[in-house]
Amino acid sequence: MSSLAAQPPRVPWGDFPDVLIHANESAVKQHPAYKAAKSGHGDAAMALVADTMNLGQNAALQALMGARKPILVSAHAYEQEGVNAIPEIFADELSKTLGWPVDPSVLQVNVVAHTGADGFSRLARQAEFAGTVQAGCDYVMVDDFVGMGGTLANLRGHIETQGGRVLAAVCLTGKPHSAKLSPTQSRLQELRAKHGRQLEEWWIERFAHGFDALTESEARYLARTASFDLIRDRIAQSQQA
């Protein structure tokens, strides 16, 4: 199998809206239920979501969607301790609040161990998704955390390459600068100026997408890396690990 065929699909971002983040990292990660929720305990996840879900962000999401009633789909992530329960519970609570349907059939099918990983490890070990998508339907992605945004990028790629339309993303927490998923033109210009065509051609061969399907955080990370050789070597090391 070629490296192209093995890669999770992605699509260019266009004018995708910023992620709606509900709470700051400390409020979520220092919550007494966080560790249990992250390792798969549903009751702990419900307690965490109840204490940190932001009604103002729910209103902002509803305003963004207008009269549409998109399908909520969560990024079920495998962690070393178990299946992260937070995204699914968060999606269920959003469904109750907003009156939108939830589709639990789209699942992450590999273990990427992103929690605590560095940027190269996140770029090298990308989430893969499977599950039936309703072609022609609108979707909103739900996750517990947005860092570099790669998991959301790959979830969106899975949905859109099967005919769905992803309109927005919402996360319980994340880094404020990571809310922007669509890379700016100035960032893409910076990245191409830094590494030339060599990196993008290698990236397309290795990951089956160009720079316009990177997230803003991924593009920034690559632009701040010293050389193409360093990027190539660190990604290869992370994939082997």
Closest residue by Cα to residue 148 from 176, 116, 122, 113 = 122
Q: Got the DSSP string for 148-194?
A: S-HHHHHHHHHHHHTT-EEEEEEEEEE-GGGG--SPPHHHHHHHHHH
Q: What is the pLDDT of residue 109?
A: 87
Q: What is the pLDDT of residue 4?
A: 43
Q: What is the pLDDT of residue 112?
A: 72
C-alpha atoms less than 13 angstroms from C-alpha of 58 in its C-beta half-sphere? 17
Spell out a b/e string for 56-88, using b for 16 or more CB atoms within 10 Å of the CB, else e.
Answer: ebbeebbeebeeeebbbbbbbbbbeeeebbbbb
Mean pLDDT of the chain: 92
Q: What is the pLDDT of residue 91?
A: 98
Q: What is the pLDDT of residue 216?
A: 98
Q: Which pLDDT tens digit goes with each residue over 123-140?
A: 998 899 999 999 999 999
pLDDT confidence of 82, banded at 50, 70, 90? low
Q: Which residue has the higher pLDDT, 40 or 2?
A: 40
Share of the chain above pLDDT 70, in %: 93
Comma-separated ranges of CATH 3.40.50 domains in the chain: 20-178
Q: Which residue has the higher pLDDT, 93 or 76?
A: 93
Share of the chain above pLDDT 90, in %: 83
Query: Domain 20-178 - what CATH class?
Result: alpha beta
pLDDT confidence of 3, banded at 50, 70, 90? very low
Q: In whole angstroms, give the CA distance from residue 59 to residue 91.
A: 15
C-alpha atoms less than 13 angstroms from C-alpha of 145 in its C-beta half-sphere? 19
| pLDDT average, residue stretch 25-45 | 96
Q: What is the pLDDT of residue 117?
A: 66
Q: What is the pLDDT of residue 238?
A: 87
